[in-house]
Chains A and B, each alone.
Chain A
Amino acid sequence: MTEGTQTPGTDAEALSAEPLVEITLRVNDVLHTAAAPTRRLLSDFLRHELRLTGTHVGCEHGVCGACTVLFDGAPIRSCLMFAVSAQDHAITTVEGLAMNAVQQAFIECHGLQCGFCTPGFLTTITAYLQENPAPTEAEAREAISGNLCRCTGYQNIVRSVLRAAEIQVLRAAEIQVLRGAEIARGGDG
């Protein structure tokens, strides 16, 4: 047995023999800077340095997709990238989706059960619908076929993709109506 007297959380630099680097990321449109070893995975950096724990880690070998975040708008596996490699890039995590159409659709369609894989699906689908805002059911299924879910059997996630596309259209129409009303009011003045 060996027991030491080091205490955690006092001075990371003093405890770690590893050199730390300052890493600055734009996460959810906010600049964050934190010190971490160069080997710190982006997933761990987001979760533990920035305390954005919505991004989950399911396999740490890039297969399950739970840790998917948007990297300059494109979905990537944050467990396969070092945080330092993301220096100065823009990251969107589930916390930054701001109850978008995909999140709303997941609630309406029972697209999640335990919710652990969900953030990876939400980010993936958010990016996908920008590429293809009106997918067919087969396309929706294909779009989510890189992420693992052990709870839902995917059927309600497929429905959620289709529903999210509908909600996007509805929301866009609502914005049009609101803008129209604003212009009309402006005309009165």
Chain B
Amino acid sequence: MTTAMFGAPVQRKEDPRLVSGNGRYLDDLGQGALAAAFVRSPYAHARVLEIDVTGAVDITGVIAIYTHEDLDGKTAERLPLLIPHPSLTNPMTGYCLVRDVVKHVGEAVVMVVATDRYVAEDACERVKVDYEQLPVVVGLERSRAAEVLVHPEAPGNVAAHMVQEVGDATAAIAAAPHRLSLSLRIERSASMPIEGRGVYARWDSDEQSIRLYTSTQTSTGVRAAVAAKLGMPLASIECIAPDVGGGFGVKVMHPWPEEVLIPWAARRLDGEVKWVEDRREHFISSAHERAQLQEVEVGFDDAGRVLGLSVRFWHDNGAYTPYGIIVPLITSTQLLGPYKPGAYRCEFFSMYTNTVMVTPYRGAGRPQGVYAMERTMDAVAAYLGLDRTDVRSANFIQVEDMPYDHGLLFQDGRPLIYDSGDFPASLAKLKALVGWDDFASFRAAAEAEGRRVGLGIGCYVEGTGVGPYEGGHIQVETSGRVNVSTGLTSQGQGHQTVFAQIVADELGVAIDDVFVTTGDTRRFPYAVGTFASRAAVMSGNAIALAARKVRDKALRIAGDALEADPADLEIVEGVVRVKGDPESSIALSTVAVLSNPLRYAFDESATVATQFVGRGNSLLSDYSKPPVAEGEEPGLEGRDYYSPPRATFANGMHAAVVETDPQTAEITILRYCVVHDCGRMINPMIVEGQVHGGVAQGVGGALYERMVYDDAGQLLNASFMDFLMPYASEVPHIETDHLETASPLNPLGIKGAGEAGCIPVSAVIASAIEDAEGFPITSMPISPDELWDLRRRHAEGLIPGLRRGS
């Protein structure tokens, strides 16, 4: 039997190429293309009065300068509203180039195309744009006050207002033995992949077609959007995601203005045009996430059981809402985590501000929801003087409650029903891993040395693998090479490896013979995209189903050739053989030859499938049957799709030990522990890597990263000098343990793992700092100077202390 690949820590197939400088990222392509650069608005809210390009046109090398007036057809119209929702009553999207009024710093106003990027940027500097500045809305408080409107079409600056309620939360809270209210804040961060966005388009005037490369998380989505905008047949546009240098959500938003403008310009200029985003552009003209103000009311009993929970929050969606209300909707539903509150009400307002728009960033609203819930759990424990894990245990959904229906609608428009998970077991593992019950003695020892330490915890449940579907196609070549394709894209998750692992097992071939292509509409045109921890679940299962089809077909053909019942056959290391009689066998590559009856022999191996020589072949010598049997197709290949009834829910629990410096309030993470359950793991090495990366982003969001806007809407820290992404020196060593609760929803029993690591980190760090300091932490991220200020206010009696249960 072939060694099982599924579940093995297989080294990545992509790595030899990527460590040798042989990756092909967007800016590595199109070396001869014209270069585009953009004049972007320096103001957050202003009317464009006049654009004067006279100083720029004569620069040698400038090919074209475009403003909104030059756009034609649908390119001149607003960008699409990607995800409409009935609660999104005032959706607003921008234009490819600003039409009249800019709504945030960084919006594209003018596009310059030149022979060289340096020249294009020279020209941008010489374009003069006159603006009439308008009053600016920055921050949720000013958005709520609505003294100034971001869009006159959106009264009160409200894009969306939504309420979901299960039971009568208000009455349950009123009737509960204990009640608490919390006001919480969480700030903006961003995906911030090291490779920014980029687009490269080649117009083929002979074929009247476009080949479009874009650093995206959804090539099928971009293709459809560009076809619609450019008024071209879908068949005339190919869209390819090359190697993508990180995504983390920001690249699933589409079409970006540049994704429309670059192919538009390529067609117009009859050539090739490329645009590669620089770092400042990424800060001010892509997307951010996270900022919310939250108000929680909770009613609970003596054991800390939540009887009623009511959450109201305000979500800063920035200037536009092309991605709908996905982020706040996820916050409002995933807030519940592993718990079952007696009654739950959630109300949110999605608010406009004159800032970069908000679209999903790894976790996509979950970090905020988990933060609200876990801050609440800690507050309940402190109020009752109970151990924080006991309060969580008292509220856990139990294994026997699965599947558990929350009675809410999830982000995919389907019921929020947890399929599986063992929360008590996860908590037990976490407590063992971090040494929860021994922490008191650790703290005592630290305090004896004059040190201040705290222990924090955070639990989450993550809906992964949302639909609607993904597909897979597998083709076995006559050489034995197995080509696998799926439409969704890769940004470093190792899809070329994990999908090959699945195919190797399902088909019985060596992993070295399996070659996976993702995100290329030439190879697989039907797909959704890589987001919501869905790639392994969706494409993994689709590819497994396709492999089973190919296997069945191979066994049918081999059965004829070997005169054996297909049920008696097996495929081992690329050879079909009779079980128990390995001598009676045929190579899969030969089966591939036989699957395609030939007139012309292209090489020696092919002669067995030709019409005269093939007569010795039992498949081709029965004249009563056509060469291609009824119901069959030529070729050893198969295609299948996976479309789940609903999402599958992964979960995890994190704990951290932090030390806060008694003098400087510097915060150091001493230990970080993760227990993670994403069902059956295809490749534990890759899952661990995903967890590590997620935690690092979570640490950034908890302690370092924030988007600092001034009152005029200028992003003051739009560079890596000032936006503090963690280096290795800031990220702790991460200790992990896994639970594998198989999902009953899909053939492989898997759940997504991509986002998990970052989801509870702000909650965990807040919990640990609070535990160290003895007063509540209600605003994240937190810096040493903020903690120092909290200490001062606590000392002055302005902030009450906490009862410490554990």
Contact = CB atoms under 8 A, between A and B. Distances in A.
Interface of A: 1-4, 6-9, 15-17, 37, 39-40, 47-48, 51-61, 63-64, 66, 93-95, 97, 99, 103, 106-108, 110, 112-119, 122, 141-142, 144-158
Contact of B693 (A58, A99, A113): A113
Nearest to B757: A153
Contact of B692 (A53, A114, A152): A152
B552 interface: no
A110 B14 CA distance: 11
Contacts of B493: 113
B234 to A, nearest CB: 28
Given A6-B63, A8-B271, A147-B727, A153 B693 contact: yes
A146 B15 CA distance: 23
Contacts of A7: 271
Contact of A156 (B11, B248, B692): B692
A151 B493 CA distance: 9
Contact of A114 (B28, B195, B696, B734): B195
B721 interface: yes
Contacts, number: 213
Interface in B150-203: 192-195
B192 A113 contact: no
User: What 9 A-B pairs come out closest when comparing CB atoms?
Assistant: A54-B21, A116-B245, A114-B492, A153-B692, A115-B18, A153-B696, A113-B492, A63-B720, A53-B28
Contacts of A144: 727-728
B494 interface: yes
Contact of A152 (B31, B689, B725): B689
B731 interface: yes
A67 to B, nearest CB: 11
17 contacts: A8-B34, A8-B271, A15-B116, A58-B279, A95-B21, A97-B20, A103-B19, A106-B15, A112-B15, A114-B193, A142-B729, A150-B693, A151-B689, A154-B692, A154-B696, A156-B692, A158-B728
A16 B115 CA distance: 9
Contact of B731 (A16, A142, A155): A155
Interface string B332-349: 000000000000000000
A180 to B, nearest CB: 30
* Residue from A8, A57, A153 whose CB has the most chain B CB atoms within 10 Å: A153
Contacts of B195: 56, 58, 114, 116
B22 interface: yes
B468 interface: no
Interface of B: 11-12, 14-16, 18-25, 27-28, 31-34, 53, 56-57, 59-67, 69-70, 115-116, 118-119, 192-195, 243-246, 248, 268-269, 271, 278-279, 491-494, 685-686, 688-689, 691-697, 719-721, 725, 727-729, 731, 733-734, 757
Given A54-B20, A122-B19, A60 B279 contact: yes
Contacts of B11: 107-108, 110
A112 B70 contact: no
Contacts of B720: 58-59, 61, 63-64, 148
Nearest to B14: A115
A163 to B, nearest CB: 12
A51 B31 CA distance: 8
Nearest to A147: B727
Nearest to A8: B115
Of A55, A117, A149, most B-chain CB atoms within 10 Å: A149
A60 B279 CA distance: 7
B32 A3 contact: no
Contacts of B14: 115
Contacts of B12: 107, 110
A107 B9 CA distance: 12
Contacts of A63: 719-721
B18 A2 contact: no
A153 B88 CA distance: 36
Given A53-B28, A155-B692, A158-B728, A150 B248 contact: yes
A64 B194 contact: yes
Nearest to B736: A155
Nearest to A115: B18
Contacts of A117: 194, 245
Nearest to A140: B728
Given A64-B720, A94-B21, A107-B19, A146 B64 contact: no
A103 B193 contact: no
Contacts of A113: 246, 492-494, 689, 693
A94 B27 CA distance: 17
A154 B732 CA distance: 9
Contacts of A3: 63-64, 268-269
Contacts of B116: 8, 15-16
